[in-house]
């Protein structure tokens, strides 16, 4: 490469990177202006790297002719994503811009849900017949116009009914004798993906097998398309983002943090906050129902916050561990009993550790500080108070851990996303019960002395 060319390329790259960095700061009109100021090659690279949402926004702002050009530059699977990101009332107009075969491919793709293999796959791939020779295969593949085939590192060997018989990589074709039959060269021990497989399951297949692409088959074993590892990188990132947002107690956001509209962000957060707030109102009644106990042993009030928060913390840990292990396919429904046993032990051990610390806190404070009247800090029954705190912490930690560990299983069984067992939900559930546990332990331990 000559130095001059290299410099120009370098400058173009810098301009592109600048635009990428500044993108989220621009409003829609500025974006379209900036996009139109790019040189053709840069604009193409930039456009293909955008999210489907951003692509739809750009298209909407371009004149008809350019819109058609850019829409046609996309492969059918990316086009399907774009159409799904376009507001309903503009979809029809967009689809009319396409040529007839692309439109047909698009309609077929749109029939699949966005999050199943059929919705991810690319319908353009190299096709061969088993009886072809390697030389014929190479000539034939050369003729399939390059822009119709996005990432052709494998060619798929199909019979007349489109049943998948085998796969050859371009490498195998290059390495093989020209006169050999494709059926002799092809690999027949295939890993395939059903077109209705959930994208999380597809991503697990990729993680397990280290393939760069997998063929997608319908229920009759007919080849429908290919899913490539680069699409799976996107899927894994999106699924993790959704799970993380749900774990934090937010409905999954539709766009990047800085781009989502303020009102949509409030909606995504307010729903759960309101539900949790109403749930946590139960703590008002719970605490109030122990008014008598609190009046007699007001010292207990001070421990309420610490005790219930330790339940919430234990629960957050357990639920996030279980949610993630489920998403990775490490835990199945049938494992719930093993998880129960494991988490029951964990809850007891962790609760035990915290309980010791709680007891220690009471004892140390009692011997270190005096109350306003100069009397020992926690009165004559300080050891019983310490034991109450310790007992409550064990109970609350055990309960929080079990709620956190089993709630994802329960949600999944009921058909919900296990990730909805968010840290705040688990914390709120264990708050209410925590108060009951605390006062039950207190009544038992302190009965006859303080209570």
Site for a copy of itself in 339-398 (CB under 8 A): 339, 342, 345-346, 349-350, 353-354, 357-358, 361
Place of tokens 């093993």: 338
The footprint of a copy of itself on residues 59-88 (CB under 8 A) is: none
- 301 versus 447: smaller Cβ distance to a copy of itself: 301
Element (H, E) at 134: helix 134-143
Strands 164-169 and 154-158, how do they pair?
antiparallel
Q: Which of 316, 388, 420, 433 binds a copy of itself (CB under 8 A)?
A: 316
| Residue 265 to residue 259: CA distance in whole angstroms | 10
Q: Which of 86, 102, 199, 317 binds a copy of itself (CB under 8 A)?
A: 317
| Cα distances (angstroms) measured from residue 282 to each of 277, 383, 396, 407, 440 | 9, 30, 17, 19, 17
Binding mask 8-47 for a copy of itself (x = CB under 8 A): -x----------x---x----------------x---x--
| Residue 383 to residue 303: CA distance in whole angstroms | 15
User: Among 182, 106, 108, 95, which residue's Cα sits nearest to residue 138?
Assistant: 182
* By CB under 8 A, residue 433 contacts a copy of itself: no
Q: Which of 53, 84, 309, 443 binds a copy of itself (CB under 8 A)?
A: 309
| Residue 35 to residue 32: CA distance in whole angstroms | 5
Under 8 Å CB-to-CB from 348, ≥6 apart: which residues? 394, 397, 398
The footprint of a copy of itself on residues 224-243 (CB under 8 A) is: 228-234, 236-237, 240-241, 243
- Measured from the CB of residue 423, what is the shortest distance to a copy of itself in angstroms? 4
Chain CA centroid to CA 317, Å: 18
The footprint of a copy of itself on residues 141-180 (CB under 8 A) is: 141-142, 146, 151-153, 165-166, 169-171, 173-175
* Residues linked to residue 155 through DSSP beta bridges, in sequence order: 126, 168
- 83 versus 141: smaller Cβ distance to a copy of itself: 141
* Residues linked to residue 88 through DSSP beta bridges, in sequence order: none
Question: Considering only 52-60, 92-100, 104-112, 304-312, which stretch makes contact with a copy of itself by CB under 8 A?
Answer: 304-312
- 111 versus 175: smaller Cβ distance to a copy of itself: 175
Q: Which of 109, 247, 403, 446 binds a copy of itself (CB under 8 A)?
A: 247
| Residue 131 to residue 248: CA distance in whole angstroms | 56
The footprint of a copy of itself on residues 259-298 (CB under 8 A) is: 262, 265-266, 269-270, 272-274, 276-278, 280-281, 283-288, 291, 294-295, 298
């Amino acid at each position: 490469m000559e130095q001059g060319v290299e410099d120009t390329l370098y400058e173009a790259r810098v301009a592109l990177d600048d635009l990428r960095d500044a993108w989220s700061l621009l409003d829609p009109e500025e974006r379209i202006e900036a996009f139109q100021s790019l040189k053709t090659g840069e604009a193409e690279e930039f456009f293909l790297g955008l999210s489907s949402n951003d692509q739809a926004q750009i298209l909407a702002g371009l004149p008809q002719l350019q819109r058609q050009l850019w829409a046609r530059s996309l492969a059918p699977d990316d086009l399907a994503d774009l159409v799904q990101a376009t507001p309903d009332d503009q979809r029809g107009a967009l689809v009319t811009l396409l040529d007839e075969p692309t439109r047909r491919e698009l309609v077929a793709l749109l029939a699949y849900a966005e999050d199943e293999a059929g919705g991810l796959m690319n319908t353009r791939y190299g096709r061969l017949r088993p009886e072809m020779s390697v030389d014929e295969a190479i000539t034939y593949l050369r003729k399939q116009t390059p822009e119709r085939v996005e990432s052709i590192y494998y060619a798929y060997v199909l019979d007349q009914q489109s049943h998948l018989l085998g796969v050859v990589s371009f490498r195998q074709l290059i390495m093989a004798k020209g006169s050999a039959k494709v059926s002799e060269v092809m690999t027949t021990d295939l890993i395939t993906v059903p077109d209705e497989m959930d994208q999380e399951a597809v991503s697990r297949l990729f993680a397990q097998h280290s393939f760069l692409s997998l063929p997608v088959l319908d229920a009759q074993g007919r080849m429908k398309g290919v899913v490539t590892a680069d699409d799976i990188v996107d899927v894994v990132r999106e699924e993790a983002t959704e799970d993380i947002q749900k774990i934090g107690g937010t409905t999954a956001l539709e766009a990047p943090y800085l781009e989502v509209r303020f009102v949509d962000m409030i909606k995504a957060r307010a729903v759960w906050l309101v539900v949790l707030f109403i749930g946590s109102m139960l703590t008002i009644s719970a605490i109030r129902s122990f008014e008598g106990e609190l009046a007699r042993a007001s010292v207990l009030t001070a421990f309420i916050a610490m005790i219930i928060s330790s339940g919430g913390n234990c629960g957050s840990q357990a639920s996030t561990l279980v949610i993630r292990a489920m998403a990775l396919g490490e835990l199945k429904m049938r494992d719930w009993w093993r998880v129960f046993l494991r988490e029951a032990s964990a809850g007891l051990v962790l609760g035990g550790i915290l309980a010791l610390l709680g007891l220690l806190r009471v004892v140390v404070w009692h011997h270190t500080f005096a109350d306003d009247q100069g009397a020992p800090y926690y009165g004559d029954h300080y050891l019983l108070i310490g034991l109450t705190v310790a007992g409550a912490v064990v109970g609350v930690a055990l309960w929080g851990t079990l709620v956190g560990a089993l709630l994802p299983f329960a949600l999944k069984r009921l058909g919900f996303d296990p990730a909805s067992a968010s840290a705040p939900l688990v914390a709120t559930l264990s708050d209410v019960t925590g108060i009951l546990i605390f006062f039950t332990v207190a009544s038992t331990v302190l009965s006859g002395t303080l209570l």
